[in-house]
Structure 1
Amino acid sequence: MDLFSVQVEEDKLHPNFINVSKDRDLVKVLNTWAIGFQDRDNKFAKEFQTTFNTAFWELYLHACFSNLGFKMDYSYSSPDFVVETRKKKLEMVIEAVSTRHADDGTPEYDRINAIDEMFKKGDIEDTALYDEIVHIATERIANSIRNKVDKYHKNYSKLDHVKGKPFILAIGSFEQPFFYSQGIGAIEKVLYGLVKAEYKGNDPYFEYSDNIIKRKSGEPIPIGLFNDPKFSFISGILFSPVASIGKVRALSINKKKSVYFNTYTYNDYDTKAEIKMIPHKKYRESLLDGLSLYLNPYADNPIDSTEFDNRDIAKVYSNDFREIKHGFLYSRTVNDIQDF
């Protein structure tokens, strides 16, 4: 599959594709991700060039499953992935979900306008900006899951190769220009209804809710999906907010002197996460860094979590119990000082 031989008129190319295609280091990484990927409907490359994020997310997932030693069966038209695990040869069904901006929202690639809007609002505290990012992400993730729930009941649940197997939604977040800063705040709102998590002294403190209020309409949006047995057909959620072009840059062999990575990572030795700025030449990030597996406690067909044993993947069994390494990547930004 040739991802970068242009198949459409130039004015139809997605801005992300244009930027990536001009950088041979990024092209090399993405071509590596695509090894073994099968274009079942002969339009994947065109979608990669014109809409980008959905195809990019599927490529990333394909690379992750290959890395985990899963065998992928592309003979089915849907859902996106039917895999056989490496250890116990178990079959799982995985549907890729990529969030997108609302019809009246700012596309994720339009960061210049987003920054302009931020300055027009005046000084914004980091906490207020983060809360806004998480709220937008929560709305869009919840909306995307609802769409897939409907599709599961109308279509997927009737397919013989889906019945009786773990069904996983793999969610990539691309709904706003600063999507890569959300960490796990939005996904844990959606799944557990967790609206506040902080330390009071040395003790963790949590607040929960059954819904959030949609900013535009004022309507309530239900959250806490994994607190509700009616979603038992979803065995788990794979989620990453850092599977972005920044991930591709981090994995490129050619380390640029002008590029720096700002990271926000889990700190096993303190109540505060670690914030670092690291030059590209010294920065290390794996393909799987930042990927979380959330297991539904009510799952009809539970996931064998040992099939996802990899120290770079966080495994979350409930809001109170998780396996997460020191240094787990919550968020990451990439800065090129040549751009300033």
Structure 2
Amino acid sequence: MDALLSLPIMIKQSTYKESYMSDEIKINKIDQKRFTALVGPSRTPYAAFVSKEVDWYCNKDESVLGVILLDFDDEYGWVTMGRDEIGRYRGFDVGSCIENQEEAAKQLLGKMQEITRTGQSVFPQGDKGKALDLFNIIVTEEKLHPFFKRLCEEPSFSSAKGIIGEMMPHYTDIDGNFVDQFQSAGFDARLWELYLNAYFIEEDFEFDRSHYAPDFNLNKYGQKICIEATIVGRQKPMTEDEARVFGEPLTKEQILEKALDEMPIRFGSPLYTKLKKEYWKHKHVEGNPLVIAIADFHDKQSMLWSSTSLPNYLYGVRHDSHFDESGKLVIDPIVIERHKHEKKEIPSGYFFQKDAENISAVIFSNSGTISKFNRMGKQAGFGASNVILIRTGFHHDHDENAALPKTFSHRVTGESNESWGEGMSMFHNPNALHPVHAGLFPSIAHHYFRDGQIVSYLPDFYPYSSTTNIINVVDDKK
């Protein structure tokens, strides 16, 4: 999870951009993160099979973008891109069969300067429709979600607002109520869907938007995967004060108590509800892997500690550890039969319940929050320059004898390389009728249940939790 803290501080900052100028038309060289955030899914996933992007450029107002490509014949090419009538960047001019990168750059920069001189900023492609406008308020003041208001109004979240705004020309609202819900009581659920959408684009999936359910119908390498999104929601609406106050952290004893039974029951409710929907009976789902993607928004800071409860519930087992006489770490699986909290009691082992064999896996992340969008936006160059983000947290220690995670801390800048998939996990169903191939999701953690124990394969950097502190820089002359 990403907690938030906003403070005023006085710091001097400087920025640097590499640029090229001819006849007073300046073309800037930008990094891949910025280019990717702007073009979004305009990229064709299969383009990577025939060419590699090597350099990226924009004019002053980013009305024209350019990219240099190296193809499989070791020849260079280039593509210019501009916004279509919906607001999506689309390719409209190309160069190819160029012997070296320098000549490709010369041609591309010349073309971008030529186009910029015309003053053209929209490059029609003949498409109809318009982009979703998340920030044009359509609900009443009393219905506005507190975090949506902060996202709209506060410079602290301008990086998140900027990158979300660039996603909207590409986003398809199947249900027709995305904007309404994003602005009001459905903010958490819709933000989770937007996060998943960004991750699936990053993972080079193609989208089939012709079906209203499940939420995502994806294709990759000829394999179709259907994914339904859900959350552990709040029992009552968040107040303005709750959106601003960090709150007292739970003690270790309180976390342990909640993790054993309360959280498995909380996870179990939406997961069981999705199981009863029987999506696998839809013709477009039948015979393909069906995955449920879940996140926990039930309380402030809950993502900092609730994640271990999910695999315990899914597999009906938890783990204790101890060191043997030689100092080697030993993991002991303990079977869980049931979870009981207050008046509610449920069986453990979601993957072993009736009809659960139709659920191929469960995806989970505790990072699908507004802070994630803020960091991804900041490293891509969006937002107010006087807002500083500092991320701190815990990540996995790959030492096989390590019983505790490592700590990390860094300032989020253009040099950061966080991905949308960072911190995401896929828990595979050992009884799945249609298993998911881990190679379709190469950037995330994968967990399996083998011989009564959970076996995990984690990326080199795998954060368990983090907080994002927001520092607002103020001018000492004002």
Q: Out of 276, 281, 287, which is 1:158 matched to?
A: 281
Identify the residue that residue 146 of structure 2 maps to in structure 1.
15
Instruction: Pick from 203, 211, 220 the counterpart of residue 330 of structure 2.
Output: 203
Which whole-Å CA distance do the structure 2 matches of 1:335 and 1:185 have between them?
24
Bigger relative contact order (CA 8 A; separation at least 6): 2
Contact kept in structure 1, 2:291 and 2:360, CA below 8 Å:
yes
Corresponding residue number in structure 2 for 1:325: 459
- Aligned counterpart in structure 1 of residue 230 of structure 2, from 92, 97, 119: 97
1:186 counterpart (305, 309, 328)? 309
The residue aligned with 2:435 is: 302
Cα distance in 2 for partners of 1:107, 1:204 equals 42
Q: Name the CA shift for 1:306/1:251 in 2 (closer, same or farther; >3 Å).
A: same
Instruction: Please give the alpha-carbon distance, in whole angstroms, between the structure 2 residues aligned to 1:307 and 1:32.
Output: 26
Partner residue, 2:358: 233
Shift in alpha-carbon separation, 1:48–1:75, aligned structure 2, 3 A: same
Rounded Cα–Cα distance in structure 2 between residues aligned with 1:229 and 1:335: 44
Structure 2 CA distance for partners of 1:21 and 1:163, relative to 1, 3 Å: same
1:173 to 296, 300, 313: 296
Larger strand proportion of the pair: 2
Taking structure 1 as reference, are residues 111 and 192 closer, same or farther at Cα in structure 2, changes over 3 Å only? farther
Within-5 A mapping of 1:1-340? 1-22=132-153, 23-50=157-184, 51-85=186-220, 88-102=221-235, 110=242, 115=247, 125=251, 127-132=252-257, 134=259, 135-152=261-278, 156-182=279-305, 184-201=307-324, 202-214=329-341, 216-217=342-343, 219-228=344-353, 230-253=355-378, 258-269=388-399, 270-281=402-413, 284-310=417-443, 313-318=444-449, 319-336=453-470
> What's the CA shift for 1:229?
6.8
Q: CA RMSD in A?
A: 2.6
Instruction: From the two aligned structures, give the one with the greater helix fraction.
Output: 1
Deviation at 1:247, TM superposition (A): 0.8
Deviates more, 1:33-42 or 1:13-22: 33-42
Report deviation, 1:42: 2.2
TM-score by length of structure 1 reads 0.85
Amino acid of the structure 2 residue aligned with 1:225: Y
C-alpha distance in 1 between matches for 2:355 and 2:242? 38
Deviations 1:239-290 (A, max 9, x none): 1112111211221225766532221111102332012333334765221111
Q: Tell me if the contact between 1:73 and 1:83 (Cα under 8 Å) persists in the aligned partners.
A: yes
User: Structure 1, residues 46-84: CA drift from partner, whole Å, max 9, x if none?
Assistant: 111012011111111111111111111111121111111
Larger Rg: 2
The structure-2 alpha-carbon separation of the partners of 1:139 and 1:112, relative to structure 1 and needing over 3 Å to count, comes to: farther
Cα distance in structure 1, aligned partners of 2:357 and 2:302: 28
The alpha carbon displacement at 1:317 in A equals: 1.9
Which residue is 1:121 aligned to?
none
Cα distance change of structure 1 residues 109 and 66 upon mapping to structure 2, 3 Å threshold: farther
- Work out the CA distance in 2 between the residues paired with 1:243 and 1:100: 14
Normalized against structure 2, the TM-score is what? 0.62
CA distance in 1, matches of 2:241, 2:320: 30
Q: Separation in 2 of the partners of 1:77 and 1:109?
A: 36
Change in CA separation of 1:259 and 1:114 when aligned onto 2, cut-off 3 Å = closer
What's the CA shift for 1:176? 1.3
Cα gap change, 1:140 to 1:89, in 2 (>3 Å)? same
Question: CA 1:34–1:173 in structure 2 vs 1: closer, same or farther (change >3 Å)?
Answer: farther
Q: Check the 8 A contact 2:146/2:243 in 1, yes or no.
A: no
Task: Please tell me whether the aligned partners of residues 261 and 283 of structure 1 are also in contact (alpha carbons under 8 angstroms).
Answer: no
Counterpart amino acid of residue 333 in structure 1: T
Q: Which runs of 5+ in 2 are unaligned?
A: 1-131, 474-478
Q: Which blocks of at least 5 consecutive residues in structure 1 are unaligned?
A: 119-123
CA distance in 2, matches of 1:226, 1:256: 48
Residues 126-147 of structure 1, C-alpha deviation per residue, up to 9 Å, x if partnerless?
A: x224325535432211111011
User: 2:180 & 2:417 partners in 1: Cα distance?
Assistant: 32
Distance 2:258 2:143 in 1: 28
